[in-house]
Amino acid sequence: MESSLPQHVAVDQPKLHVLLSDQSSEDSNSAEKANNGTQTKFFRLRKSKELIPSLMFRRCLGKGIKQILPSELPGKRKVKLMNWKKFHKLNVIYSFMDELERDFPAICTVTSIGKSVEGRDIKMLKISNSKASNPAVWLDAAIHSREWISTAVVTYLADFIVRNFQKLSESITDNDWFIVPVLNPDGYVYTHTRDRMWRKNRAKHDGERVGVDLNRNFR
């Protein structure tokens, strides 16, 4: 699922101007750059030494973007873009939540509702139009850490609601959505690094046994 670029971006430093007129040919303004054994074509922006992928360049021209944020350039992002073609690690999911809050501050708020036994934040996304009469809708996922599909479902739903908020009916928008994509972050990380089928959290008991089934034991 391809994420969309903003239609108009205003930045102060640095300004990377895409000239929509007097463009040179694709061949004369491109450079070949190796990427994991494949060749990726890059356009060199006029009045700039920066390179951006040719696909992004064409998308920018099509949408009439005058300036591009440095974060949209190759190698500037700390984590990979969120998509729903694969399962993602915890840092990608948390970055996705933070980006929704950054890009849609009027309706999105990210908070930590607590810490796991290994000290990780348990992050929650709230989506709300701030009406006092809104009922609450609670969604959590990955309480069983190996159930990755649950995290994919709630993050997809969150992304859809946020990016289509102005088009959706009041039955959707007149709610306060509380979404916790990974309720068991320690176990979730463990399934990505050690044991894919791990179900519990990583709490220790009597110095020997490890793990509480958080969907069975709420103490």
Instruction: Write down the pLDDT at residue 206.
Output: 80
Query: Are 60 and 18 a contacting pair, CB within 8 Å?
Result: yes
Tell which of 75, 105, 131 closes a domain. Answer: 75
- 82 in any annotated domain: no
pTM more than 0.85: no
Nearest to 113 by CA among 137, 88, 140: 140
- 204 in any annotated domain: yes
Instruction: Write down the pLDDT at residue 209.
Output: 79
Q: Number of folded domains in the chain?
A: 2
Tokens of 116: 């796991």
Same domain, 9 and 32: yes
Tokens of 105: 């501050």
DSSP track, 8-53: ----SSS--B--SSSPPPTTTTEEEEEETTEEEEEEEPTT---EEE
> Which percentage of the chain shows pLDDT scores above 70?
63
Nearest to 99 by CA among 108, 111, 90: 108
Count of CB atoms within 10 A of residue 173's CB? 19
Instruction: Write down the pLDDT at residue 205.
Output: 84
**Domain span at residue 173?**
90-210
**What is the C-alpha to C-alpha distance for residues 162 and 94, in angstroms, rounded to an integer?**
16
Same domain, 71 and 94: no
Same domain, 119 and 42: no
List the CATH number of the domain containing 167.
3.40.630.10
Instruction: Write down the pLDDT at residue 219.
Output: 58
Question: DSSP secondary-structure letter at 14?
Answer: S
Same domain, 67 and 144: no
Query: Are 144 and 199 a contacting pair, CB within 8 Å?
Result: yes
Residue 51 pLDDT class (50, 70, 90 cuts): very low
Tell which of 52, 75, 98 closes a domain. Answer: 75
Query: Are 177 and 186 a contacting pair, CB within 8 Å?
Result: no
Same domain, 119 and 23: no
Instruction: Write down the pLDDT at residue 81.
Output: 79
Dihedral sign for Cα 130, 136, 137, 141, please: positive
Same domain, 200 and 131: yes
- 215 in any annotated domain: no
Same domain, 10 and 116: no
Count of CB atoms within 10 A of residue 182's CB? 28
Query: Are 51 and 43 a contacting pair, CB within 8 Å?
Result: yes
- 217 in any annotated domain: no
- 18 in any annotated domain: yes
Same domain, 8 and 113: no
Tell which of 24, 50, 75 closes a domain. Answer: 75
Mean pLDDT of the chain: 75
Same domain, 109 and 178: yes
